[in-house]
Amino acid sequence: MSAALSPTPKMQFFDANGAPLAGGKLYTYAAGTSTPLATYTDATGQTANANPVIADSRGEMSVWLDGFFYKFILKSATDTTIWTVDNISANASSQSTAVTATQGQTAVTVPIYVAGGSLLVARNGLVQNYNVDYTETNSTTITFVAPGLSLGDVIITRF
């Protein structure tokens, strides 16, 4: 068995004063575009949310993603943009299974991701630093710096 980090069951947002972002609006688009992309009310993916998704009085909303990359734009109830984040994915392969290293192993195969430092890499539960502890060989392989990994090191990745 391999344990995984629990997803956030509800998203919650706050205004600049720390109050819940009641009536806040989360617009969802295909990554890198202004083309709306559906999110869903629950894990079944059967019922699409409105776009934008409107936060309740506690600043909360249920947002379940399909297997695509998204761009999120969060706005206040009065349509003031708070932030924009691109290339968001929650696809089931976003967390790899644990890889147990052999002595001196340097290359580790990971699920495909967008290269460029967007991968979170943990070695024995400790987050590793991009371009210090490891580099990206391509979009499915990371390479640990010499002398490599020790026998039994456990590597988990998330993007």
Per-residue model confidence as pLDDT tens for the chain (159 residues): 445 556 677 889 998 888 999 999 999 998 788 889 899 898 788 899 999 999 999 999 999 888 777 889 999 999 999 999 887 876 544 556 678 888 989 988 887 776 776 777 888 877 788 888 998 888 788 899 988 899 988 887 876
d(CA 41, CA 94): 20
Q: Delimit the domains of the chain by residue range.
A: 10-90, 93-158
Q: How much is the pTM?
A: 0.57
**pLDDT confidence of residue 57:** 97
- What CATH code is assigned to 10-90? 2.170.14.10
Instruction: Classify the C-alpha dihedral 34-72-156-142 as positive or negative.
Output: positive
> Looking at residue 95, what is its pLDDT?
58
CA dist 76 to 13, 59, 85, 107, 148, Å?
A: 10, 10, 15, 45, 47
SS3 category, 63:
coil
pLDDT for 124: 80
